[in-house]
Structure 1
Amino acid sequence: MKNRARPQGDIRGGAIAPDRSPGGRLLSGLIMNRPLVVIFATICLDAVGIGLVFPVLPRLLEDVTHNPNIAPYIGIMIALYAVMQFVFAPVLGALSDTLGRRPVLLISLAGAAINYVIMAFAPQLWMLVLGRAIAGLTSANVSVATAYITDISSEDQRARRFGLSNAMFGIGFIIGPVLGGLLGDTWLRLPFIAAAALNAGNLLLAVFVLPESRAPAREKIDLAALNPLRPLRWVFSMKGLLPVVFVYFILSATGEAYGVCWAMWGFDTFQWNGLWIGLSLGAFGICQTLVQAFLPGPATRLFGERMAVVVGIACACIALVALAFANQGWMVFAIMPLFALAGIGTPAFQALATEQVDPDRQGQLQGVLSSAVSLASIAAPLAFSTFYFVVQNDWPGAIWLAVVVIYAIAIPLVLLGTRTARAAT
């Protein structure tokens, strides 16, 4: 008999019982649903681990290699992280469908803590590379965390909770660079020790608080399922899912443009120094976090999931056009609230994607979607940085119009492709 996900609930005797809190309000839901707190903490810590490395990585590589020309090493480290995510996200997602979500999450949290200890004390380059590879592998647990959220949430709760999970990632990505910079000024290795301690604490919390969200499958593990390309073959065998995965790839790829080009564009257009670049990124992160924490649920109820995605894309495109023509720094901050409204699109699309497959395939689907994110994080930075250097001298803001063009490709796929996917599955 197939296993079915139970509805969202709290812990009663180690099992998940239905949540009967009045109205399912956000605060009471989080208080009663301690597993959800652990999952959100896991997602947040994954983002902290990504962000804290960037302020200290150049100095750390220079210290280890004794070579001031560390640009090639930075490229290798960043690409390796994304490649490991791409390879292992589907594997962890498929394993969680078979073994259960809890053991896969516990192993990945333990691996993350060990990784940061390695990086904190690594005296040689190969050890740093190994640590970064482990970091990419363990960060692939986002696919398992997302499947866990799907297991314990009813369909009408998913958009709101996916929005919260994205907000947790946004908070982590705000905290990470700040924490890395502050602690790195004290001691270059201190950020990694802090990250190891945070992950170890979350591991202990998960051991004692996190129940299994679905009964493990009775059948033996299919070794062929460990092939990271197998879930992708599954997608290609179900043609209706291709638009879903491609839209997710586009949404992820457009997000890479900001991390790659924002600082260069701010300097070239407004002559911003590091402080103003940091303030603008912080303002964007805070606005987007608030939007994703509170608006996806109401937006999907108002517009429906499909139209909420389109509204989010439209807000992003209007803001990007305004950025392309902005000639004063204050304009960027004025656009931020509209820009942040784009954040309702991704969680709405995540909820829409979960409706395309049955509950027994949710881990596999989330693994494939996480792989799409990782693939975008490999390809998009190269493409956007190349285009930016082409337009840098004549019109730096043209990079944002390129992002608008890519966004536009997603709209017909959202409106038509998801209907095809549902019919095909």
Structure 2
Amino acid sequence: MRLPLFFVLATVMIDAMGIGLIMPIMPNLLLEVQGGSLADAAIWGGILSTAFAVMQFLFSPVLGSLSDALGRRPVLLISLLVMTLDYLVMALAGSLWLLLVGRIVGGITAATHATAGAYIADISKPAEKAANFGLLGAAFGAGFVLGPLLGGVLGELGTRAPFYAAAILAGLNFTLGWFVMRETVTDETRRAFDWRRANPLGAFRAMARIPGITGLLWVYFLYSVAIYVYPAIWAYFTAEQFGWQPRMIGISLAVYGICMAVVQGGLLRYLVRWIGERRTVLWGQIFDFGAFGILAVISSGSLALLLIPISALGAVVQPALQGLMSRAVADNQQGELQGVMTAVHALAMVISPLMMTTTFALFSDPETAYFLPGAPFVLALILMGIGALVFLRSRSSVT
């Protein structure tokens, strides 16, 4: 299982690399394509992110249920092939509308995170689920180490170079998966595909019938909306507040990726053993709460870099929540659960980019009555606090 596991983790890592590769150049790319101000670019950046998230929301339960019926292998391989072609289209796009189409297709292919999570659930014992889900988070963090660094460097060559790099990476991973990926869905765990359960509403209803899941899904949703403040406005926030260029933005994201990989790939395993999954979630929320509060008012770029390791400690929340919920469902529902969780995360991505970029635009406009580029972090702080209260009120056999 080592090579197939490597392929699945590499898929998640390359997904993150693809995102990280283009993040440093998005402000310049949007200004190049449509002109206008940085605030205008931030709004369009939010629209592109929202389109991506809407597709991920709609298709995550579909691909999760398909992987329960057809297997993890075909879902992952076909999605990687389409992803490769999509990045090539975006590399050649000369209009906002073609970029929008690229993000729509990209959102569908990115819905395979649910299938990757289901594969991890397939090969994990119940007590190992949270720690192994941490490996997915670590792979995502590792992608952020390489992605922004490469994106920042390649961005100096032109705004299209990172898209070509992302296409190459996705294509290479498809080739690897074709040769090494083995199926983990067996005749005993295979479940017939049902559109009534594969659409988001049907999948949510099915999960809601499992005791304790609904409250945890609300916590996961609020956490996802709040934490998406980083990819939604980081490039715009640091350019406005600190005057950072693409190279520095890429370095800062890479530092965060390194710290997140260490936390989720190493520290999380010991933290869950020591204090349990529930307390791990609570401590992660506390660290996020503090990081948001500081970033909201910070004026020093150097201090922001020093804060990154502390903010990365909040990365334990997501895999700990995944572990709690995965242990509550049957083996033949793992793909469905991961599809629902990915859909919840995608729904948060529908809401968060527009919410965060609009807040940034309102408080960073030269004519604003109160200039506060860090205002989106205040909003994220409030949402994280509400999520913590919901989690504290949740009491069930799951937690």
TM range (shorter): 0.7 to 0.9
Aligned to 2:367: none
The worse-fitting range, judged by mean Cα deviation, of 140-149 and 400-409 is 400-409
Aligned to 1:288: 260
- Partners of 1:367 and 1:240 in 2: how far apart? 18
- Aligned residue identity for 1:210: M
Q: Secondary structure at the match of 2:212?
A: helix
1:318 to 277, 280, 290: 290
- Partners of 2:26 and 2:305 in 1: how far apart? 29
Q: Secondary structure at the match of 1:186?
A: coil
Q: Deviations over 1:79-114 (max 9, x none)?
A: 221111111011100111111111111111121122
**2:393 counterpart of 1:420:** no
Shift of 1:357: 1.3
- Contact 1:80/1:136, CA 8 A, preserved across alignment: yes
Structure 2 segments unaligned to the other structure (5+ residues): 365-369
Q: Secondary structure at the match of 2:228?
A: helix
Q: Secondary structure at the match of 1:106?
A: helix
RMSD of equivalent CA atoms: 3.0
Instruction: Give TM-score, length-normalised by structure 1.
Output: 0.80
- Partners of 1:399 and 1:110 in 2: how far apart? 36
**2:21 counterpart of 1:44:** no
Instruction: Give TM-score, length-normalised by structure 2.
Output: 0.85
- Aligned residue identity for 1:420: S
**2:270 counterpart of 1:298:** yes
- Aligned residue identity for 1:159: A
The worse-fitting range, judged by mean Cα deviation, of 281-290 and 135-144 is 281-290
2:387 to 410, 417, 423: 410
- Contact 1:52/1:178, CA 8 A, preserved across alignment: yes
1:156 to 124, 127, 131: 127
Shift of 1:203: 1.4
Q: Deviations over 1:391-413 (max 9, x none)?
A: 66355556444433322222243
- Partners of 2:317 and 2:26 in 1: how far apart? 32
Q: Deviations over 1:205-226 (max 9, x none)?
A: 1122111112156665334444
- Contact 1:244/1:421, CA 8 A, preserved across alignment: no
Q: Secondary structure at the match of 1:214?
A: coil
Q: Secondary structure at the match of 1:140?
A: helix
Shift of 1:58: 5.8
Q: Secondary structure at the match of 1:229?
A: helix
Q: Secondary structure at the match of 2:193?
A: coil
Structure 1 segments unaligned to the other structure (5+ residues): 1-9, 11-32
Gap change, CA 1:258 and 1:93, over 3 Å in 2: same
1:99 to 70, 75, 82: 70
- Partners of 2:45 and 2:142 in 1: how far apart? 24
Larger relative contact order (Cα-Cα within 8 Å, sequence gap ≥ 6) = 2
Aligned to 2:58: 87
**2:223 counterpart of 1:251:** yes
**2:354 counterpart of 1:377:** no
- Aligned residue identity for 2:18: G
Q: Secondary structure at the match of 1:141?
A: helix
1:356 to 322, 328, 338: 328
Gap change, CA 1:186 and 1:153, over 3 Å in 2: same
- Aligned residue identity for 2:289: C
Shift of 1:322: 3.8
- Contact 2:51/2:350, CA 8 A, preserved across alignment: no
- Partners of 1:260 and 1:36 in 2: how far apart? 30
Aligned to 2:114: 143
- Contact 1:243/1:421, CA 8 A, preserved across alignment: no
Gap change, CA 1:73 and 1:346, over 3 Å in 2: closer
- Aligned residue identity for 2:90: M
- Contact 2:23/2:148, CA 8 A, preserved across alignment: yes
Identity across matched positions, percent: 38
Q: Deviations over 1:167-205 (max 9, x none)?
A: 211222343333334334435544333322222221121
- Partners of 1:113 and 1:327 in 2: how far apart? 39
Q: Secondary structure at the match of 1:420?
A: coil
The worse-fitting range, judged by mean Cα deviation, of 96-105 and 276-285 is 276-285
Shift of 1:119: 2.9
Map 1:10-159 → 2, pairs under 5 A: 10=1, 33-57=2-26, 67-69=34-36, 71=41, 74-122=45-93, 127-159=98-130
**2:306 counterpart of 1:339:** no
- Partners of 2:159 and 2:249 in 1: how far apart? 23
Q: Secondary structure at the match of 2:264?
A: helix
- Partners of 1:116 and 1:334 in 2: how far apart? 34
- Contact 2:222/2:387, CA 8 A, preserved across alignment: yes
1:206 to 174, 177, 184: 177
- Partners of 1:60 and 1:319 in 2: how far apart? 29
- Contact 2:72/2:184, CA 8 A, preserved across alignment: yes
- Partners of 1:196 and 1:348 in 2: how far apart? 32
Gap change, CA 1:207 and 1:310, over 3 Å in 2: same
- Aligned residue identity for 2:383: I
**2:141 counterpart of 1:170:** yes
Gap change, CA 1:199 and 1:266, over 3 Å in 2: closer
- Contact 1:92/1:367, CA 8 A, preserved across alignment: yes
- Partners of 1:176 and 1:259 in 2: how far apart? 13
